[in-house]
């Protein structure tokens, strides 16, 4: 064998034996001194100078910022209990942790800065310096298995409810409302929500089926979510079956993360609008997603909103509009099974209006839809956060207990005055989801206070939601910005007929031209 | 007598072989001293919360009455059970623990852990058994040891080991919030748990002066200093008071 051939063989063998993870982590973590400077500037506010997850902002957050001193990380590619790989740390830094306060730092910090800060974060725990620690990414099949056909998903569902019992925490329909959910705590003793599996865009470690499968294999260390790897080793289930479970979980969320659009288009329907949230009409109407965020402008601020957004649909008939709002909420508040959980939330999420933690109370769930009193001609709208003394807003408000809907004027978060006009609201609660339909006449007598819903206009609209079992009431709520409702005018028949007519005429003329040309050609040939 | 002699001879041979194999001098603790005692309980016995097992009929069926939590278990003779007593310090620096013999088993039965408090050697296998056949997860929340959290949805046994001494590693099930157990990871075998009569025994101690610690999950720790020489037995009693 020539020297060159020998070298080739050596290279090939080396390449073949290099573990896959080496390719996944091209980085060598770098300078901890520079990393510290980045950390102090960008990370310490939440994670604390000593890395204990106790920075000045931490007390308002749920989930709390990571405590680096224990080196316990939720999102890893390694077995339960193992340290994360460098690539795992970089992923969290680069892409952030959706559904938490941790943003993506790629693009905000340079490649070097991000690597340096990852190296510095590792200095907070002696585990990273311990060379006896085994750190290796679990190896998975590269392509997702399981299949997405109905029978595969059905088997996934069977594992979900009968075999592995995911429903104990995540609930029968996956909205995080299982019987054990109100007892859950993380390792630090903070309350933790079982994930709502209908919102994969908020999964901390990503929402693809591969991400879900990886979480099932690794577990989320520091949380109640265990690893299922032992079950494969002990042949309780096969790898393919675990993939099916992952595919089933993936199938609970929409194909893509919901796109936020500014305008809700409401079609006009023949007959009368549905008043029930479970009417079959709603299955044929587009739904729009509006994200909600914590109310952090006025005291008492609320940084841990339980409702992450609302799905909205609207239709109208000649006289009435129907607006359907649905949102995920683990409880039909007030629910005594969740009172202790609520107390833990109030003790965890620091209040800015009272020093001692608040006492849990059986608050109801609430939802509010807000309009200006008049459709504005320009872009001027009332203050989005429940109006002002001089420019109040018109609101529809619904509470779960007592179950009722009222319309009124809000002049601030604190001041709401009910109006006498009728507002119908019908709600149903099903496995962690509220579905609520408001119906109201397009035109009402009180034109001074109640917005007149005119087709063809852009009607400003905003949303507010409260989950009573998470301690939300008053200013502790989730809010949206202004969006628009458009009652679409039915398209006049002419719009559809004109193009058809035009096509027929064009085709006819074309045929005439062709015919004449052919006739002329034939005549010439005959000569 | 002959049989005993033969056993002793075999034991000696084995011990010598082991000693030769590990290149360690023969262990002084063979034979060794004993520390035993009782853990008394004074004051008012707290009422333990009842456990509502309605969600788990299989577990509920294993009890005649309503099961209660096991945070404080006072024995009929007025002693305190589930106190972990161990040598906290005092072993010579040259001491090395014998290789662990056998596994330590933690059973999940009736949606409670058996035993509720247990000790294990560094490197010794913990066999975590699910006798209930319903979903449990077992989570170890060590600080010096890496944590883990594994799912056991059926009758099965999972094995794990621990790398560093730590008193205590809390163990819990998150499906059943009342399920707690406490695992002490030690570099030596000198430990015991007070039982149904409140007594404990630490055997085979090399001569020396030891700090003995008694640990209880609610009442904290107490220590005692005990000197043993030869194969004598010394007594160390502890007393915890209800508040």
pLDDT of residue A32: 87
H-type helices in chain B, by residue range?
A: 2-22, 57-60
Give the model's confidence band at B12: pLDDT under 50 very low, under 70 low, under 90 confident, else very high: very low
What is the percent of chain A with per-residue pLDDT over 70, rounded to a whole number?
A: 94
Longest dimension (CA), chain A: 109
Chain A residues with CB under 8 Å of B169 CB are none
Rounded Cα–Cα distance for residues A237 and A135 (Å) = 25
Q: Which residues contact B124 (CB under 8 A, 6 or more apart)?
A: B100, B103, B104, B161, B162
Question: B57-70, pLDDT tens digit by residue?
Answer: 999 999 999 999 99
Whether residue B63 lies within 8 A of chain A, CB to CB, comes out as no
Angle at B240 between CA B237 and CA B243, to 5 degrees: 165
Residues of B in contact with A183 (CB under 8 A): 174, 177
The DSSP secondary structure of A268-289, one letter per residue, reads B-SS----STT-GGGGGS--EE
Cα angle A205, A206, A210; round to 5 = 100
| Residue pair A460/A480 in contact by the 8 Å Cβ criterion | no
- B12: how many CB neighbours lie within 10 A of its CB? 12
Among the partner-chain residues B143, B152, B175, the one whose CB lies closest to the CB of A70 is B143
Task: Report the C-alpha gap between B36 and B203 in whole angstroms.
Answer: 8
- Residue A84: closest CA among chain B residues belongs to which residue? B146
- Of A364, A451, A369, A427, which is closest to residue A399 (Cα–Cα)? A364
3-state secondary structure B87-144: EEECCCCCCCCCCCCCCEEEEEECCEEECCEEEEECCCCEEEEECCCCCEEEEECCCC
Instruction: Report the pLDDT averaged over residues A462-482.
Output: 97
| CA B63/CA B58 separation, integer angstroms | 10
In this model, does residue A421 exceed pLDDT 80?
no
**For the ranges A3-12, A516-525, B170-179, B206-215, which has the lowest average pLDDT?**
A3-12
Half-sphere exposure at residue A468, Cβ-oriented, CA atoms within 13 angstroms: 20
Chain A residues whose beta carbon lies within 8 Å of the beta carbon of residue B176: 180
CB A362 within 8 A of CB A334: yes
Token couple for B58: 């299989």
Are residues B55 and B23 part of one domain? no
**Chain A, nearest residue to B172 by Cα:** A224
Count of beta carbons in the 10 Å neighbourhood of residue A312: 23
pLDDT at A490: 81
How near does any CA of chain A get to the CA of B172, in Å? 9
Within 8 A of A136 by CB-CB distance, chain B residues are: none
CA A296 to chain CA centroid, Å, is 19
Contact residues for B90 (Cβ-Cβ < 8 A; gap 6+): B208, B209, B210, B211
Q: Which of A34, A17, A171 is nearest to A115 (CA)?
A: A34
Q: Which of B143, B146, B150 sits opposite A230 (nearest CB)?
A: B150
Instruction: Look at B148 and A70 and tell me if their CB atoms are within 8 Å.
Output: no
Rounded to whole angstroms, the Cα distance separating A507 from B183 reads 87
Report yes or no: A324 and A81 within 8 Å, Cβ to Cβ.
no
Strand partners, A242: none
Question: Residues 151..180 of B with a Cβ closer than 8 Å to A: which?
Answer: 151-154, 156, 158, 163, 174-177
B30 at the A interface (CB within 8 A)?
Answer: no
Q: Please indicate, yes or no, whether residues B107 and B137 belong to a single structural domain of this protein.
A: yes
Contact yes or no for A133 and B146 at CB 8 A: yes
Within 8 A of A221 by CB-CB distance, chain B residues are: 147-149
B154/A236 touch (CB, cutoff 8 Å), yes or no? yes
Which uninterrupted H or E stretch holds A80? none
In A25-138, DSSP assigns E strands to none
Residue A23 has pLDDT above 50, yes or no: no
Chain A residue closest to B152 (CA)? A231
Task: Check whether residue B39 and residue B22 sit in a common domain.
Answer: no
Position A357 scores a pLDDT of: 77
Verify that B6 and B42 share a domain, yes or no. no
The pLDDT tens digits of the residues spanning A308-362 come to 999 999 999 999 999 999 999 999 999 999 999 999 999 999 888 766 778 999 9
Give yes or no: residues B10 and B51 share one domain. no
Tally C-beta pairs within 8 A across A and B. Answer: 82
**Segment A195-229, tens digit of pLDDT:** 999 999 999 999 999 999 999 999 999 999 999 99
Q: What's the domain range around B5? A: 1-30
Cross-strand bridge partners of residue B39: B238
Task: Tell me the shortest Cα–Cα distance from B143 to chain A, in angstroms.
Answer: 7
Of the candidates B231, B213, B204, which has an alpha carbon nearest to the alpha carbon of residue B101? B204
Token pair, residue A354, equals: 């009272």
**Best residue in B60, B135, B156, B163 to probe A by mutation, most A CBs within 10 Å?**
B135
Does one domain contain both B62 and B82?
Answer: yes
State the pLDDT at residue A379: 84
- Measured CA to CA, the distance from residue A397 to residue A406 in angstroms comes to 5
CA distances to A10, A15, A93 from A22, rounded to whole Å, are 18, 11, 19
Both tokens of A310, joined, read: 């609302």
The reported pLDDT for the residue numbered A27 is 53
Max Cα distance, chain B (Å): 58
Whether the pLDDT of residue A526 is over 70: the answer is no
Check residue A160 and report its DSSP letter: I
| Record: contact A164-B151, CB cut-off 8 A | yes
Mean pLDDT of A173-202: 97
Least confident of A65-74, A336-345, B18-27: B18-27
Say if residue B22 is in the same domain as residue B139.
no
Co-location of B195 and B207 in the same domain: yes
- Could you report the predicted ipTM of this complex, rounded to two decimals? 0.82
Strand B238-241 relative to strand B33-42, pairing: parallel
Q: Which of A86, A71, A84 lies closest to A124 in space, CA to CA?
A: A71
- Chain A contact set for B139 (CB, 8 A): 224, 226
Q: How far apart are CA B26 and CA B19, in angstroms?
A: 6
Q: Mean pLDDT in chain B?
A: 89
Interface of A with B in 121-180 (CB under 8 A): 127, 132-133, 163-165, 168-169, 179-180
Question: What's the mean pLDDT in A370-374?
Answer: 98
Tokens representing B19 are 């000693």
> Using CB atoms and an 8 Å cut-off, which of residues 232-291 of chain A contact chain B?
234, 236
Asked if residue B215 has pLDDT above 50, the reply is: yes
Residues of chain A numbered 172-191 and touching chain B (CB < 8 Å): 179-180, 183-184, 187
Residues A89-145 pLDDT 10s: 999 999 999 999 999 999 999 999 999 999 999 999 999 999 888 899 999 877 788
Domain containing residue B134: CATH number: 2.60.40.420
**Averaged pLDDT of chain A:** 91
Q: Is B122 on the interface with A (CB under 8 A)?
A: no
Domain count, chain B: 2
The predicted pLDDT at position A350 comes to: 87
Q: Answer with the residue of higher pLDDT: B230 or A364.
A: A364
pLDDT at B22 over 60: no
Structure tokens that stand for A449 in this block: 């206070």
Distance to chain B for A73, nearest Cα, Å:
10
Does residue B205 contact residue B190 with C-beta atoms inside 8 Å?
yes
Residues of A in contact with B158 (CB under 8 A): 230, 234
B174: nearest CB among A221, A224, A234: A224
Q: In the structure encoding, which two tokens stand for residue A365, read together?
A: 């769930």
With vertex at residue A195, the alpha carbon angle to CA A369 and CA A284, rounded to the nearest 5 degrees, is 50
User: Which one of A71, A217, A219, A226 makes the best mutation probe of the B interface by having the most chain B beta carbons within 10 Å?
Assistant: A226
One domain for residues B100 and B186:
yes
CA distance to partner chain B, nearest, from residue A53 (Å): 16
Listed range (A14-18, A64-68, A117-121, A369-373) with the worst mean pLDDT: A14-18
My answer on whether B70 and B24 are in the same domain is no
Here the tokens at position A455 are 């087709």
Does the beta-carbon distance from B156 to A169 stay under 8 Å?
Answer: no
C-beta atoms of A180 and B175 within 8 A: yes
Same domain, B95 and B135: yes
Structure letter (DSSP) for residue A483: E
Angle at A345 between CA A339 and CA A346, to 5 degrees: 90
pLDDT, average across residues A67-93: 97
| Dist. CA A445–CA A447, nearest whole Å | 6
Six-digit token string for A35: 């990393």
> How do beta strands A483-487 and A263-266 pair?
parallel
Query: What is the per-residue pLDDT for B13?
Result: 44
Are A236 and B137 inside 8 Å of each other by CB? no
Question: Is A19 a residue whose pLDDT tops 50?
Answer: no
Measured between alpha carbons, how far is A152 from A209 in angstroms, rounded to an integer?
14
The pTM assigned to this predicted structure is 0.86
Which is more confident, B1 or B88? B88
Indicate if B41 and B20 belong to the same structural domain.
no
Of A36-45, A172-181, B27-36, B126-135, the least confident: B27-36
The three-state secondary structure class of A408 is strand
pLDDT of residue A28: 61
CA distance A305 to chain B (A): 24
B149 vs A: CB within 8 A: yes
Nearest CA in chain A to B175: A180
Mutate to test the interface with B, among A80, A159, A184, A190 (most CBs of B within 10 A): A80
Put the strands of the sheet holding B166-172 in their side by side order.
B117-121, B180-186, B166-172, B136-140, B148-152
The whole-number pLDDT of residue B30 equals 60
Q: How far is B184 from chain A (nearest CA, A)?
A: 18
Per residue in B145-204, pLDDT (tens digit) is: 999 999 999 999 999 999 999 999 999 999 999 999 999 999 999 999 999 999 999 999
List the single residue in A80, A132, A163 with the smallest CB-CB distance to B149. Answer: A80
Query: Which residue matches tokens 């010394």?
Result: B234
Please give, rounded to a whole number of angstroms, the shortest distance from the CA of A128 to a CA of chain B.
11
């Amino acid at each position: 064998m020539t020297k060159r051939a020998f070298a080739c063989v050596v290279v090939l063998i080396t390449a073949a034996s290099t573990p896959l993870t080496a390719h996944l982590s091209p980085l060598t973590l770098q300078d901890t001194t520079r990393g510290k400077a980045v950390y102090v500037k960008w990370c310490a506010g939440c994670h604390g100078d000593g890395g204990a997850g106790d920075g000045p902002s931490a007390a308002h957050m749920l989930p709390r910022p990571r405590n680096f001193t224990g080196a316990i990380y939720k999102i890893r590619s390694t077995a339960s209990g193992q340290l994360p790989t460098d690539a795992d740390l970089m992923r969290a830094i680069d892409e952030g942790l959706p559904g938490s306060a941790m943003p993506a730092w790629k693009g905000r910090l340079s490649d070097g800065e991000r690597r340096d800060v990852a190296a510095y974060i590792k200095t907070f725990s002696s585990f990273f310096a311990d060379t006896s620690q085994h750190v290796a990414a679990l190896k998975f099949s590269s392509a997702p298995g399981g299949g997405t056909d109905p029978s595969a998903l059905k088997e996934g569902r069977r594992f979900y409810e009968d075999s592995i019992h995911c429903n104990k925490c995540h609930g029968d329909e996956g909205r995080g409302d299982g019987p054990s959910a109100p007892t859950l705590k993380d390792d630090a003793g903070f309350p933790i929500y079982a994930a709502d599996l209908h919102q994969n865009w908020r999964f901390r470690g990503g929402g693809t089926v591969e991400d879900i499968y990886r979480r099932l294999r690794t577990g989320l260390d520091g949380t109640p979510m265990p690893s299922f790897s032992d079950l494969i080793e002990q042949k309780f289930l096969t790898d393919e079956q675990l993939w099916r479970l992952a595919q089933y979980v993936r199938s609970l969320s929409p194909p893509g993360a919901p796109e936020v659009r500014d305008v809700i288009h409401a079609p006009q329907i023949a007959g009368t609008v549905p008043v029930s949230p479970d009417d079959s009409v709603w299955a044929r109407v587009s739904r729009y997603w509006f994200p909600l965020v914590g109310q952090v402008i006025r005291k008492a601020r609320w940084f841990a909103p339980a409702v992450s957004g609302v799905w909205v649909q609207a239709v109208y008939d000649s006289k009435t509009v129907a607006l359907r709002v649905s949102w995920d909420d683990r409880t039909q508040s007030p629910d005594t099974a969740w009172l202790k959980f609520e107390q833990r939330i109030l003790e965890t999420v620091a209040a800015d209006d009272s020093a001692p933690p608040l006492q849990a109370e059986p608050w109801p769930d609430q939802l509010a839809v807000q309009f200006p009193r008049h459709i504005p001609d320009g872009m001027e709208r009332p203050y989005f956060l429940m109006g002002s003394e001089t420019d109040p807003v018109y609101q529809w408000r619904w509470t779960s207990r007592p179950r009722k809907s009222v319309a009124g004027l809000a002049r601030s978060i604190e001041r709401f005055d009910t109006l006498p006009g009728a507002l119908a609201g019908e709600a149903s609660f099903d496995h962690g989801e509220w579905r609520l339909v408001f119906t109201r006449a397009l035109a009402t007598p009180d034109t001074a206070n109640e917005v007149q819903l005119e087709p063809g206009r852009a009607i400003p609209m905003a949303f507010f939601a409260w989950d009573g079992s998470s301690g939300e009431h008053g200013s502790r709520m989730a809010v949206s910005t202004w969006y628009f409702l458009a009652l679409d005018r039915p398209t006049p028949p002419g719009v559809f007929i004109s193009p058809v007519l035009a096509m027929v005429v064009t085709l006819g003329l074309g045929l005439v031209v062709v015919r004449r040309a052919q006739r002329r050609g034939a005549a010439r040939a005959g000569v | 007598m002959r049989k005993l002699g033969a056993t002793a001879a075999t034991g000696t041979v084995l011990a010598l072989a082991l000693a030769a194999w590990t290149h360690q001098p023969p262990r002084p603790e063979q034979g060794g001293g004993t520390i035993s005692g009782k853990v008394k309980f004074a004051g008012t016995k707290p009422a333990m919360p009842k456990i509502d097992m309605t969600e788990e009929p299989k577990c509920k069926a294993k009890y005649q009455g309503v099961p209660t939590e096991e945070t404080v278990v006072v024995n009929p003779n007025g002693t305190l059970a589930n106190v972990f007593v161990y040598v906290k310090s005092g072993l010579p620096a040259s001491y090395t623990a014998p290789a662990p013999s056998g596994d330590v088993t933690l059973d999940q039965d009736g949606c409670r852990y058996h035993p509720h408090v247990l000790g294990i050697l560094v490197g010794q296998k913990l066999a975590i058994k699910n006798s209930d056949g319903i979903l449990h997860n077992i989570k170890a929340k060590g600080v010096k040891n890496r944590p883990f959290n594994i799912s056991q949805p059926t009758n099965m046994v999972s094995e794990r080991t621990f790398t560093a001494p730590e008193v205590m590693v809390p163990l819990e099930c998150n499906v059943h919030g009342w399920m707690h157990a406490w695992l002490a990871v030690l570099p030596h075998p000198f430990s015991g748990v007070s039982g149904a009569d409140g007594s404990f025994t630490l055997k085979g101690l090399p001569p020396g002066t030891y700090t003995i610690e008694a640990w209880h999950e609610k009442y904290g720790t107490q220590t005692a200093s005990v000197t043993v020489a030869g194969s004598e037995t010394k007594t160390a009693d502890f007393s915890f008071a209800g508040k």
